[in-house]
């Protein structure tokens, strides 16, 4: 069997037109085209990329189908995998009292939906838990030989998620609207998660202003030793790099930190 080839990835660090999906979709489409032209097979947009991190969940959920259809067409027309965040409205069969969810979706090159993740940790400090329900599942998708796990913004602060999926993941993608005021936490935690899981970590953040907050980007791709492979500061740009699952396997074989975990001991400390 042939070994998997490195996967070319592109983090699309972009500004967002606040609560205006049509304007934002028109704005990001050329960036996706540039990423595809540069050879990217997986293109990644920020959390809630079409609306900004708004708490008007009900009002923005009505745009879900149009945003999803546009993303599917962008993936199909460029022949790429596309990951993007959006607001998912409450389903008709959802229990009473359910709220919309902060979702991350991957579309395949044929335009079909390949993965859907719901942000497990709503950002209580910003009141997100009052408007969005948290998810309960952490799926992983294999993209052209690379095992990809998707997380959203505040999830980055919870190493439990990353360690739970480390053995089954070559690349963690973290999409975000991470504000400028805490940018050092974002940069530090992305690198730490790569070191802790011995996996690639791609963090894609927005830039600009929205909802009274400023965002400076700092999107980055880190390798399985925590080495920076591609980084950005402020401004709209592409973060381009390659993810090699063979490198993940080699790092884990030569420096077997993950094998030295003792979960049976840790379990005894839980309350």
Predicted structure pTM score: 0.96
In this prediction, residues 39-52 reach a mean pLDDT of: 98
- Quote the distance between the C-alpha of residue 176 and its chain's center: 7
Q: Among candidates 136, 140, 131, 172, which has minimal Cα distance to 153?
A: 172
Say if residues 222 and 201 touch (Cβ distance below 8 Å): yes
Tokens, residue 246? 């063979």
What DSSP string runs through 214-267? EEE---EEE-TTS-EEEE--SSSEEEEEEE-HHHHHHHHHHS-TGGG--HHHHH
In this prediction, residues 44-48 reach a mean pLDDT of: 98
Q: Is residue 2 part of a domain?
A: no
Q: Is residue 1 part of a domain?
A: no
Place of tokens 């032209």: 37
Q: Is residue 108 part of a domain?
A: yes
pLDDT for residue 1 is more than 60 = no
Q: What is the pLDDT of residue 153?
A: 98
For the stretch 132-155, pLDDT in tens is: 999 999 999 999 999 999 999 999
Q: What is the pLDDT of residue 94?
A: 84
Number of structural domains in the chain: 1
- Split at pLDDT 50, 70, 90, the class of 227 is very high
CATH of the domain at 252: 3.60.110.10
Q: Is residue 44 part of a domain?
A: yes
The whole domain housing 156 covers 7-267
**Catalytic residue positions?**
47, 119, 153
Q: What is the pLDDT of residue 271?
A: 64
pLDDT for residue 249 is more than 90 = yes
Buried b (16+ CB within 10 A) or exposed e, 83-100: bbbbbbbbeeeeeeeebb
Say if residues 173 and 232 touch (Cβ distance below 8 Å): no
Q: Among candidates 128, 165, 136, 161, which has minimal Cα distance to 148?
A: 165
Q: Among candidates 242, 258, 236, 195, which has minimal Cα distance to 30?
A: 236
Share of the chain above pLDDT 90, in %: 90
Whole-number Å distance between alpha carbons of 232 and 8:
17
Tokens, residue 139? 């799926």
């Amino acid at each position: 069997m042939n070994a998997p080839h490195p996967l070319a990835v592109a983090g699309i660090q972009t500004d967002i037109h606040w609560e205006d999906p049509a304007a934002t979709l028109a704005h990001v489409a050329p960036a996706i085209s540039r990423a595809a032209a540069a050879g990217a097979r997986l293109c990644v947009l920020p959390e809630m990329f079409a609306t900004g991190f708004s708490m008007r969940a009900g009002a923005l959920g009505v745009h879900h189908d149009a945003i999803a259809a546009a993303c599917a067409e962008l993936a199909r027309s460029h022949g790429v995998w596309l990951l993007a965040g959006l607001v998912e409205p409450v389903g008709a069969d959802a229990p009473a009292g359910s709220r919309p969810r902060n979702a991350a979706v991957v579309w395949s090159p044929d335009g079909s939906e390949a993965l859907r993740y719901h942000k497990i940790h709503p950002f209580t400090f910003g009141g997100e838990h009052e408007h969005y329900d948290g998810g309960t599942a952490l799926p992983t998708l294999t993209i052209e030989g690379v095992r990809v796990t998707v997380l959203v913004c505040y999830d980055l602060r919870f190493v439990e998620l990353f360690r739970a999926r480390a053995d089954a993941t070559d690349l963690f993608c973290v999409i975000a609207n991470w504000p400028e005021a805490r940018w050092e936490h974002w940069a530090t935690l992305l690198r730490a998660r790569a070191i802790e899981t011995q996996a690639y970590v791609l963090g894609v953040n927005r830039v600009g202003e929205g909802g009274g907050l400023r965002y400076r980007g700092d999107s980055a791709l880190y390798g399985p030793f925590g080495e920076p492979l591609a980084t950005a500061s402020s401004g709209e740009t592409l973060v381009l790099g390659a993810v090699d699952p063979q490198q993940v396997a080699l790092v884990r074989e030569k420096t077997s930190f993950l094998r030295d975990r003792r979960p049976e001991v840790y379990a005894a400390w839980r309350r």
